[in-house]
Amino acid sequence: MSHDDIAFHLPPAPRDIPAAPAGPAPTMVPLTIDGRAVEVPSGATLIDACAALDITVPTLCYLKTLTPVNACRMCVVEVEGARVLAPACSRQVEPGMVVKTRSPRVNLSRKMVLELLGSSVDLSTAPGLAEMMAEYDARPERFHQSLTSAPSVSSAALASESASSASSAALGESASSAALGDSASSASSVALGDSASSASSVALASSASSASLAAGSVSVASVAQPVKVDNDLYVRDYGKCILCYKCVEACGTDAQHTFAIAVAGRGFNAHISTELDVPLPDSACVYCGNCIAVCPTGALMATPEFELRKAGEWRPETQAVTDTICPYCGVGCTLTVHVQDQQIVKVTSPFDNDVTRGNLCVKGRFGFEYVNRT
């Protein structure tokens, strides 16, 4: 017997990459949205269920590639039996849920959110916000009018109100002193005197506040501030920031893991800040620009776009948009190149791309000037 007869020949290599073994079938959850029945996998959110029915839910702080933070409250929907409106971006589906995405309560809530944002934030460069304002009949200017159109209060009326408050307190003090007798009169007079003084002070403060309101001296709070230009790659215009937290998430655990920015302050003073509020070049920023990619209002903007907008020459409707592969390294990131007047003015990346998920490095996002100069 020859060696050829017992030789072992390897089978040909498979041409397809082996797929991972199939996991258990997901448990499907039935629910009703706007009168339409749907089933989605367990763990899905209400916004996922709405997408399965092609129902559009407006959002500002939501992005599929980021962890929901429930900040903007634009995606709220009404769940039957629930006390409050639920954020569709993070609320998971439950069996038998009955959801309304366009009830009067939902529409009013979204209108109020838009009006409150528009009354204090510059939304002029936020894509789709003008259409959303019109859809919900949002009028941010009415918050300004509510402070400037208050009924006038005359000085005589205010003086009369203050005198009346003080007189009532004094009468109360005298009556109490007489009823308690001489032995308690002194202590009671002191206590009631303090109370009368406090009541009078509150009345005067309230009257002064009303007078300021009537005189139109109270202004609507705004986040307007100078644009921060401290590097050559992008600018930060926090007068347009709605605190959606997208940039913080992209800079943090959801993408870059740089943690160069976070939210500082509380209440109306909350704002996006570098560590210790240092200039961007002194911070941990690596200039990947992933925060720019997720910003919904244009508060973060690449310098070429900012300069063109400032000059009134930004024309996205005339730009040629082409997908290509980044030339710098072997990862193979997909670049979406925006060209205006034969010049690259912006580079982005598709959020649905399996390699980048919308993220790029400093070279991929900003390293295109050599093309414009050739």
Q: How many domains does the chain have?
A: 3
Q: State the average pLDDT over residues 111-131.
A: 95
Do 283 and 329 fall within a single domain?
yes
| Residue 76 reports pLDDT greater than 70 | yes
Q: For position 144, what pLDDT does the model report?
A: 77
Q: What is the pLDDT of residue 149?
A: 56
State residue 200's pLDDT score.
47
227 within domain boundaries: no
Question: Are 261 and 328 found together in one domain?
Answer: yes
Determine how β-strand 97-100 pairs with β-strand 28-33: parallel
Q: Are residues 137 and 188 in the same domain?
A: no
CA distance to 226, 239, 304, per residue, from 236 (Å): 9, 9, 13
Residues 163 and 204 in one domain: yes
Q: pLDDT-based confidence at 143, cuts 50/70/90?
A: confident
pLDDT at position 19: 80
Q: Which of 144, 177, 205 is the last residue of a domain?
A: 144
- Stretch 148-177: mean pLDDT: 45
pLDDT bin (cut points 50, 70, 90) of residue 84 is very high
Residue 176: the pLDDT is 41
Domain around 305: 234-372
Residue 196 has pLDDT above 50, yes or no: no
For 287-299, the pLDDT digits (tens) are: 999 999 999 999 9
CATH of the domain at 63: 3.10.20.740
User: Structure pTM?
Assistant: 0.76
Q: Are residues 265 and 334 part of one domain?
A: yes
Mean pLDDT value across residues 305-332: 96
Q: What is the mean pLDDT of residues 58-63?
A: 96
* Beta-carbon contacts of residue 117 (< 8 Å; ≥ 6 apart): 123, 140, 242
Residues 250 and 320 occupy one common structural domain: yes
- Of 9-18, 125-134, 169-178, 333-342, least confident by mean pLDDT is 169-178
13 within domain boundaries? no
Residues forming beta bridges with residue 337, ordered by sequence position: 322, 347
Residues 194 and 107 in one domain: no
Same domain, 40 and 92: yes
Residues 61 and 138 in one domain: yes
